[in-house]
Chains A and B, each alone.
Chain A
Amino acid sequence: MATHNPDHSTTNNGAAVQLRQLKPSFSSRVKEFFIRHLQVFFYSLGLLSRSPFATLMTASALGIALALPAGLYVILDHARQLSGDMDSINQISLFMKKEASNEAIQATKEKLDRLPEIAQVKYINRTTALQEFQKNSGFGDALKALKENPLPDLLIVYPSLTHSAPEQIKALLVILKKLNSVERVQLDIQWLQRLHAIINIGQRGVLIIGSLLALAVLLIVGNTIRLAIENRRSEIIVTKLIGGTDSFIRRPFLYTGFWYGLLSGLIAVLLVNISLIIMNDPLAHLSSLYNNNLFSLGLMGVDISSTLLLSGCFLGLLGARIAVGKHLKDIEPK
C-alpha cells in the first residue's frame, strides 16, 4: 500500500472516508429496527439451544415453580365450582320417629307433596338405608352384629326454587318441626358453609405460595441472566465502545428471559396436565363412592393454560429486565 499517495481516495471509492458521519435513513432505521428485533428474537433462542441441557434444567426449575401454584389453583377452582353448583340445592332432612308407622310416614309425605313451598319429597326407607350403608361403608360385618337397625326413616325435602330464600326456608322449617311423626329437622347447609370457608383459606394459601414462587422465578431468571451477562462481558464492552445503546445491549438478554419464561410456562402446563391425568382416575372412583358424578378434574382449561404461559413470559421478561438493569451498569469500558 502506497504511503503518501494523494490519489488514494479515488482508488477506494467504496470506502471513501467523508467527514460527516454516515447515517442510515429514517425509514431504513425503522425497518431495520423491526428486522433486528426479529433477528435477536431468534438469535437468543439459538443461543439457548446451543446448550440444551443447561437450558432445559433451568426451564424445568422455573416450570416446577410455576406448576405448583397453578395445579393448586386448578383443584381449588374445581372445588369452588362444585360448591357453587350446590349452593342452590337446599335440602332439608326429616328424621322420622322410630315408632312412626309406614302409613303415618306416607301420610306425612303426601301432605308435604301438596305444599306449594316444596318441590319434591324423597322417602328413604330405613331398611334400604341400612343395606346401602353396609354395602358402601365397609363396616358390613360390624353392622350385621347389631340387633336392630339404628337408622331412622328419612324424608328429604327439596324446597321449590321460588321458595328458597333464607327467610322462606326458615318459615318452612317451623312448619316441618310441628309435624307429628318428625323427630328432628336438619338443614344440610352447614357443611357447605364450612366448605366455603375451607376453600377461602385454600385460595389465600395458593395466593401466598403463588407469590413466593413467582418471586423464586424472578430470582432464578435474574441469576441466569446475570451469568449470561458475565459470560458476554467482553462483547458488551466492545459494543459499548463502538456506540451501542443500552437498549441494543439489553435486547438479547431480555429475549433470553422471555424464552426462559415461555419454555417454563410450557413445562408447567405439561406438568399440571400430567398430574391431573394421574389424579383423575382415583378422583372419579372417590366421587362414584359418593354417588356423585360431578367431580372430575379433566384437563387444564385454555384460559388457565394461556394465563400460565403469559405469566411465565412476563416473569421471564421482568426477571431479565431487573438483572440487566442492575448488572449492565457495572460493565463499562476501562
Chain B
Amino acid sequence: MIVFDQVSKRYPGGNEALLNVNFHLHPGEMAFLTGHSGAGKSTLLKLIALIERASSGRVIIGGKNLNKVGRHTLPYLRRNMGIIFQDYQLLYDRTVFDNVALPLIISGFSSREVKKRVHAALDKVGLLRFEKKYPITLSGGEQQRISIARAVVNKPALLLADEPTGNLDPELSHEIMDLFIAFHQVGVTVLIATHDIPLIKQLDKRIIQLSHGEIAHGQADQKVHTPDNNQPPFIVST
C-alpha cells in the first residue's frame, strides 16, 4: 500500500527532514510512526498525502508513483485517503453533518446517499446525536471523532493520522485509538504518527521509529522495488 524507496526530503534552507527512508506498509497493515519532535514524522505523512513532494527517491501509494502525480490528478488520489490532524481541521461555520458530508459532496454523491453515509459514519464514531450541532460547541475528543468520521465517510483504503491524540487526555486517547483499530480490523491500512509511546506499547502493532530523518527501527531490511511484491510484512515490535 505504501512504499518508500530511498526517499529524502530537504526543505528550502537546507533542512534535511528525511534521509534515505525505506519502508513498506502492506495493504491492511496498521503501523505507528514515532520519534522525537522534528524527527520527520509529519514530513513523512505529508509526502504520502502529497502535501509535500520528495526531494529524491520514490513514494508509491497503492501502486501509484507519486512523483508522476500531477496537479490535476492529485485530488482524486487524496479521495482515496482519510487524513486526520492534531488540530482536527474542521469548518466551524458548518454543522457536524455538513463537515462530514464534504468528501461525499466533492465526489458527487446524491443527497440521499450523502445522508445515509454521513449517518453511518457519525454512528460509527458515536456522535450521531450531534449532527445538527456546530463543532465549536463540542469537546476536543468529540471534534477529533468528527474529523475521523469525515476521514472515513467515503471509505478510503488508507487512513493517515498526524498526532490524533496530541490534544487529548489519556482516556479520550484510548477511545480514539480504539476507533483506528476498528477500521484496521475491517481491512483499512492505517498509519499513525504519535509520540504517545505508553499508549501504543499496549497495542502490539508495528512501530516505525524515526530519528533525525532516518528510520531507527521498523524498516524493512531489504530494499523494496515494486509495490506489488508480496513479501510478508516485516514487523518490529518494540
Residues of A participating in the B interface, judged by any CB pair closer than 8 Å: 1-6, 8-9, 12, 14-24, 28-29, 31-33, 35-36, 234-235, 237-246, 248, 332-334
Contacts and interface: CB of A to CB of B under 8 A. Distances in A.
A6 B185 contact: yes
A19 B157 contact: yes
B178 interface: yes
Nearest to B49: A241
B35 interface: no
Given A24-B110, A242-B103, A248-B106, 7 more contacts: A3-B178, A4-B181, A15-B120, A24-B113, A243-B103, A246-B75, A248-B75
B156 to A, nearest CB: 6
Interface in B115-142: 116-117, 119-121, 123-124, 126
Given A3-B181, A14-B123, A241-B89, A21 B108 contact: no
Nearest to B90: A238
Q: Kindly list the 10 A-B residue pairs having the minimum CB-CB distance in the complex, ordered from nearest.
A: A14-B120, A243-B79, A15-B120, A243-B78, A29-B108, A32-B108, A9-B186, A17-B186, A15-B124, A245-B75
Given A15-B124, A32-B109, A22 B155 contact: yes
Contacts of A332: 51
B185 to A, nearest CB: 5
Nearest to A32: B108
A3 B187 CA distance: 15
A247 to B, nearest CB: 10
B108 A28 contact: yes
Interface of B: 27-28, 49, 51, 71-72, 75-80, 83, 89-91, 93, 102-103, 105-111, 113, 116-117, 119-121, 123-124, 126, 150-152, 154-157, 175, 178-179, 181-183, 185-188
A149 B69 CA distance: 95
B133 to A, nearest CB: 18
Contacts of B72: 245-246
A1 B107 contact: no
Given A17-B183, A28-B109, A334 B51 contact: yes
Nearest to B151: A242
Contact of A22 (B93, B105, B154, B188): B154
B6 to A, nearest CB: 25
A31 B89 CA distance: 30
A329 B113 CA distance: 32
B78 A242 contact: yes
B110 A244 contact: no
B89 A237 contact: yes
Give the one of B27, B89, B186 with max A CB within 10 A: B186
